[in-house]
Chain A
Amino acid sequence: MHSRLSRMAATLMLPLVSGTGLAHHSPIAFDTTVTDFAISGEIEHVDMRNPHSVMRLKVAADDGSVTVWDIEFSSVNLLLRRGWDFDRIKVGDRVTCIGNPSAAGKTEMYMWTIRLADGTEFGR
């Protein structure tokens, strides 16, 4: 019984956990008319992969509260060809993500350019 309750609790908690799995969205999930949407924060998770790479970014508000954003960006293959240096994009780093905001007003975005703390940018 205990194990069953634990499983139920875990299931109920899942929607509260920011997922890192199926983060491939159709372009219509983002407002592609806005290309300079930018947020800054600390990388909590990053995974360069196909079909799209994913990142979770901890973004602090003025009142001290922290919101975790889901950042989707290009495939690992295309990032490599564009010269992105993955050794310089790590958990704990402070970065600015620039690109398209969510079309539905969610805490999600599609990143085209990343700006590192020292001002280095990797883009298209």
Chain B
Amino acid sequence: MTQRGARALAAAAALLSATLGAAAQDWPIEGIWEPDPTRSERFPAEPPFTPEGRRIVDEWRASHDPIEDDPGKFCQSPGMPSLALGGASYPVEIIAKPKQVTILMELHQQVRRVHLDQAEHPARPFPQRNGHSIGRWEGDTLVVDTIAIKAIPFGSVPHSDRVKVVERIRAIDGGAALVNEVTITDPVMYTRPVTVRQYYKAAPPGTRMLEYECTEGMWIEHEERRGIRADR
């Protein structure tokens, strides 16, 4: 089979998978979910760094004061895969459609789009903090493959731009909970793949997602520095 023929077949299979998924279920992963730290695992404090990974992280930590140069102070989202590993108490909303699953994260107002109608990633996707995601249904499990993630040396998972993340997301406990099994592979930073399971609880009825404007403090500091802010 030619390469073009194989691609066409893969695209048709992806579309069929999306269509069958739509017909076969009512998207049990849909809804608003709250992180459940009592069940979730953490990315190891001492992950299996390669020598290069260790060097990158040590260099960053040596040049940044943990209080003064805290990225969170400047509303820096760590992006994927740190965002998929929770670590904060903010909810996540999942909206499933036949061609796309949209994951809305309240923390840092992040939006992830999982393309179900693409069998392959673009040939040269531009690296961004949350990368490029494609997905498929395996029964009731959404399998998400993410690449093209911008290199970030901070956050719970320091990573290079060669990191690849595979997530297996499914509802459990009769829909009362959700689990995301996250496998991180990064040949620059880590000697082997690391798998971490994140658990969520179904949010209580009436829960609504809130906006998360994070830069107000920076603007206020600017106004104070410029002497143009009337104190309130």
Chain A residues with CB under 8 Å of B212's CB are 50, 75, 77
Q: How far is the CA of A25 from the CA of B68 in the complex (A)?
A: 8
Residue among B213, B214, B217 making CB contact with A21, cutoff 8 Å: B217
Minimum CB distance partner of B210 in chain A: A77
Q: How far is the CA of A78 from the CA of B217 in the complex (A)?
A: 17
Q: Among A10, A22, A24, A50, which residue has the most Cβ atoms of chain B within 10 A?
A: A50
Minimum CB distance partner of A78 in chain B: B89
Stretch at the interface among B15-23, B140-148, B179-187, B222-230: B222-230
- Are A21 and B221 in touch, CB under 8 angstroms? yes
Chain B nearest CB, measured from A4 CB (Å):
13
- Are B67 and A28 in touch, CB under 8 angstroms? yes
- Are B213 and A50 in touch, CB under 8 angstroms? yes
Chain B nearest CB, measured from A63 CB (Å):
26
Is B41 part of the binding interface, using a Cβ–Cβ cutoff of 8 Å? no
- Are A25 and B220 in touch, CB under 8 angstroms? no
Q: Quick one: CB contact mask for A73-108 with B, threshold 8 Å, 1 for yes?
A: 001011010000000000000000000000000000
Q: How far is the CA of A52 from the CA of B220 in the complex (A)?
A: 13
- Are B224 and A17 in touch, CB under 8 angstroms? yes
- Are B220 and A29 in touch, CB under 8 angstroms? no
Chain A nearest CB, measured from B51 CB (Å):
27
Q: How far is the CA of A73 from the CA of B225 in the complex (A)?
A: 23
- A 26-58 contacts with B by CB, 8 A: 26, 28-29, 45, 47, 49-52, 54
Q: What is the interface size of chain B, counting residues whose CB is below 8 A from a CB of the partner?
A: 27
Q: How far is the CA of A74 from the CA of B31 in the complex (A)?
A: 25
- Are B214 and A50 in touch, CB under 8 angstroms? yes
Q: How far is the CA of A17 from the CA of B224 in the complex (A)?
A: 9
- Are B89 and A24 in touch, CB under 8 angstroms? no
Chain A residues with CB under 8 Å of B221's CB are 19-22
If A49-B217, A50-B216 touch, whether A25 touches B225 (CB-CB below 8 Å) is no
Chain B residues with CB under 8 Å of A21's CB are 217-225
Residue among B72, B219, B227, B231 making CB contact with A24, cutoff 8 Å: B72
Q: How far is the CA of A49 from the CA of B223 in the complex (A)?
A: 17
Chain B residues with CB under 8 Å of A22's CB are 73-74, 217-218, 221
Is A59 part of the binding interface, using a Cβ–Cβ cutoff of 8 Å? no
15 interchain pairs, CB-CB under 8 A: A19-B221, A21-B218, A21-B222, A22-B217, A24-B72, A24-B217, A26-B66, A28-B67, A45-B231, A47-B216, A47-B220, A49-B217, A50-B216, A51-B75, A52-B217
Residues of A at the B interface (CB closer than 8 Å) are: 7, 10, 14, 17, 19-26, 28-29, 45, 47, 49-52, 54, 75, 77-78, 80
Q: A22-B73, A80-B210 are in contact. List 10 more A-B contacts (CB 8 A).
A: A14-B225, A19-B224, A21-B219, A21-B223, A24-B73, A25-B67, A28-B67, A51-B75, A52-B217, A77-B210
Sorted nearest first, the 6 A-B pairs with minimum C-beta distance are A21-B221, A24-B73, A26-B70, A21-B220, A77-B210, A10-B227
Residues of B at the A interface (CB closer than 8 Å) are: 66-67, 70, 72-75, 89-90, 106, 210, 212-214, 216-225, 227, 231-232
